[in-house]
Each structure stands twice: as C-alpha cells, then as structure tokens.
Amino acid sequence: MRNQAICFCPSGPPTIPPRFTCPKMIRRYNDFNAYLRNRFGCRVQKITVDAGFTCPNRDGTLSGTGCLFCNGKGSGSGAARLGRSIEEQIRSAKPRLAKRYKAKKFIAYFQSFTNTHAPVEVLKPRYNQALRDPEVVGLAIGTRPDCVDREKLELIGSFTATHMVWIEYGLQSASDRTLRRINRGHTVQDFVQAVRLTQGRHILICAHVILGLPGETTADIVRTARLLADLRVEAVKIHNLYVEKDAPLAEPYRSGQFTLPSRDRYADWVSCFLEHLHPETIIQRLTGDPDPESLVGPSWSLEKSKTLTKIHRCLEDRQTYQGRRYPSRYLLENFREGVESTSS
Ligand code: SF4
C-alpha cells in the first residue's frame, strides 16, 4: 500500500467528484496530447525551432544577466548559430518524431530565447518558413509578456485562419517580489496586459510557470494558479525549478543560500496548483527537461516519468483533480468583492 500524500494546501484535502469515478479516467487533468489527438485525429508533436532571436533580458535591452534560472541558451538548441535554417530544422526533426511518437502532424515551436523580439518585417518571413511544410499544422511562439504589441499580435493572429496558433508567455510567478528576485525584468501587470491584448484574436495563450522559485510558498503558488484561472488562459506549462551550471542561481544554490524542493513536495505543489486552475485549462507539461550534462540539482528532475507517476499518485491519494477548488472559492470571492464595492 502506498503512503498517503501529505497535503500542503492551506484549505485541506477535498473529496472525489462523481465525474472522476470512471475506472477509465486515468488522468485527473486536461492533458495536451489528448487535446491535440481530439482536434487532429492523430498524434501531433512539437518540433523545437531556433530562429536566431535574442532576449531583451540578455542582450542589454533590459539587462545582460538574464533571469537567474536561465542557463544562457534560452532553452534553445543553438541550431541557428550553427547555420541551420528553420526549414532544415523541421525537415530533420520530422522522421525522428514520427518514429518515436508515431506523430503524423507537427507544431513548429519557436522556443529559443524571445521569439517576438524583432520588428514584424523580420518576424513574418521566419514564421512563414516554418509553416511552409504541409504537415506543420500549428505554430507555437515562446516569448516574454513585455515583448508583444498590437502589430506583432496582428501578424501572429493572421496565421490562425489556416493553423493552430499558440503564444507562450513566460510568467513564472504571479508575485512581483519573486519576479524581481529572479531578475525577470517584467511585472505581473505586464503579463496581464499581454494576455488582454492577445485575447479576442483566436490566438491560444499558454502561460509558463515555475514551481519552487526561491522564497516562494504554497500561498504564492496558489495565487499564480488563481490568476491564470481568472484570466482564462487556454493552457499552462508547469515545471520545477532546477539549477544548471551556467545559470546565475548555480552559485547561491551550491553555497546553500536556498534549497530546491523534493520530488514529493513538488508533486504536492503541482496537485495544489491544478486544483486552483480553471477546469478547462489544458496542461501542456508538468515537468522540466534539464540538460543532464549541465544539471546541478535536483537530480530527480532527470527522472521525468517517475515525477509524473508521483504527481498522478499524489492526485489519486488526495482524491483530487484539476479545478477542484475553482468554482466555489471564486464565486464566493467575487461575491465578497461585490458586497464590499457596493457598500463602500
Ligand atoms: S526571458 Fe528567457 S531567454 Fe531571456 S533571460 Fe529569461 S529565461 Fe533566459
């Protein structure tokens, strides 16, 4: 028999809802792959693209240091530096992904650095190059919330007539104190404004969040989930904080200035986060993907499937699921706010 998971959530353990009692219901959250399969009728896989952009938090526009967790590669493959065109990156990845995942269609994922950090005249041909392949059915653009404007969003929105289009905004935390601490160079309000500016253009929004940032508590994590639930972003990507050797956090971590959560603690945080999200939000990922060669810690972040199993068991043991704490708390709080605003 498994050990019962410890509940770190301030509001205590919930009860199982009737809609999750079906024995066929394996996952207790909206899984991205299932969503894509429903939409396209086959396995759809992302192909990561390095389009040669930089980042304003690295190139001196905002700072030269970068976010404290960033390893300097900006989650990139370095393919652009090696002179590999966008088309070539897509062409060479397709057979590998088709073999490994039986994928039949693909999403071009502009992942490296900040993929809207250029004028529209530069952005347009790069996005177009990725969409020339008829098996590429979607475009996903990773960027910072302070790097979009109407003109760029109009360009990105223009692809929605023919493709599934995602924009992925790095938020990391809904606490400005945390964002300052990790040198993000933008505020929570920047994120809210970017989401508002994007909505209504048929562009799907994914928010990127890191759990376990230095100084963050369960209350911070709940606040982040609640903000995303309120904003009704279409998807989230969650991963644990891990430290790589070239990241500015490496030294403070080695010298014991902060600690990283255990796998158990992370699984509990993810469960808590999912409970407070909107029930319809799509979960694009629940774990990180560090480079084994440069990982400083925690070592468990290399064992992706063990971490996913732990999260699934944690949800099961707590008999909980995505959105479990969404409706009543929110309605109650909206009601309270209404009472306060009308009585003042
Ligand atoms: S915004 Fe992204 S690429 Fe830029 S410093 Fe932060 S993590 Fe690195």
DSSP 38-80: HHHSS-EEEEEE------TTTSSSS-SS--TT--SSTT---TT
**CB of 169 closer than 6 angstroms to any ligand 1 atom:** no
Single out the residue of 205, 206, 219 nearest to residue 174, CA to CA: 219
The residue to mutate among 54, 61, 67, having the most atoms of ligand 1 within 8 angstroms of its beta carbon, is: 67
Of 116, 144, 181, 237, the residue with max ligand 1 atoms within 8 A of its CB, to mutate for a pocket test, comes to 144
Mutation pick for ligand 1 pocket among 114, 148, 182, 191 (CB with most ligand atoms within 8 Å): 114
Sequence-ordered list of residues with C-beta below 8 angstroms from that of 272, at least 6 positions apart, any chain: 8, 9, 218, 221, 222, 225
For residue 84, report the distance from its CA to the centre of ligand 1, in Å. Answer: 22
The number of the ligand 1 atom at minimal distance from the alpha carbon of 74 is: 3
- In single-letter form, the type of residue at position 283 comes to I
What pLDDT, in 10s, does the model give residues 73-113? 756 666 767 778 999 999 999 999 999 999 999 999 999 99
- Cβ atoms of 203 and 153 within 8 Å: the answer is yes
Nearest residue (by CA) to ligand 1, atom 7, is 70
Tokens of 339: 């009472």
Structural contact between residues 195 and 129, judged by C-beta atoms closer than 8 angstroms: no
Cβ(171) to ligand 1 under 6 A? Answer: no
**pLDDT tens-digit map of 141-180:** 999 999 999 999 999 999 999 999 999 999 999 999 999 9
Q: pLDDT tens digit string along 46-67?
A: 999 999 999 999 999 999 999 9
Query: In Å, how far from its chain's centre is CA 68?
Result: 17
**Mean pLDDT along residues 66-75:** 84
Running DSSP on this structure, what letter comes out for residue 85?
Answer: -
What spacing in Å lies between the alpha carbon of 68 and ligand 1's midpoint? Answer: 9
Q: Is 62 in the pocket of ligand 1 (CB under 6 A)?
A: no
Token digits for 107?
A: 């999403």
115 Cβ inside 6 Å of ligand 1: no
**Percentage with pLDDT > 90 across the chain:** 82
Task: Please tell me the distance between residue 243's alpha carbon and the centre of ligand 1 in angstroms.
Answer: 14
Q: Separation of 334 CA from ligand 1 center, angstroms?
A: 35
Q: Is the CB of 57 under 6 A from ligand 1?
A: yes
- Residue 76: is it exposed, middle or buried by C-beta count within 10 angstroms (0-12/13-18/19+)? buried
Going from the Cα of 15 to the center of ligand 1, the distance in angstroms, rounded, reads: 39
CA of 113 to the centre of ligand 1 (A): 6
Ordered structural domains, the chain, with CATH: 32-325 (3.20.20.70)
User: How far are the Cα atoms of 66, 69, 97, 174 from residue 179, in angstroms, in the given order?
Assistant: 12, 11, 35, 8
Say if ligand 1 is within 6 A of residue 76 CB: no
| Among the ranges given (31-40, 68-77, 182-191, 299-308), the one the predictor scored with the smallest mean pLDDT | 68-77
Ligand 1 centre distance from Cα of residue 183 (Å): 10
DSSP code at position 210:
E
Spacing of C-alpha 183 from chain mean position: 18
Name every residue whose Cβ is closer than 8 Å to that of residue 116 and which is 6 or more positions away in sequence: 123, 141, 143, 144, 147, 148, 152, 156
Tokens of 230: 């309120």
Angstrom CA distances, 299 to 176, 241, 294, 329, stand at 29, 11, 11, 36
> Which ligand 1 atom is at minimum distance from the Cα of 65?
5
Residue with tokens 């699921």: 321
d(CA 16, CA 306): 24
- 123 Cα: distance to centroid of ligand 1 (angstroms): 18
User: Confidence band (pLDDT; 50, 70, 90) for 287?
Assistant: very high
Query: Measured in angstroms, how far is the CA atom of residue 210 from the centroid of ligand 1?
Result: 13
Q: Is 71 in the pocket of ligand 1 (CB under 6 A)?
A: no
Q: What is the mean pLDDT of the chain?
A: 88
Which tens digit of pLDDT belongs to each residue from 2-25? 433 333 344 443 333 433 433 344
Strands (DSSP E) contained in 132-285 are 136-143, 164-172, 204-211, 235-240, 243-244, 282-285
Q: Please name the residue that has the structure tokens 């991205």.
A: 32
194 vs 24, more confident: 194
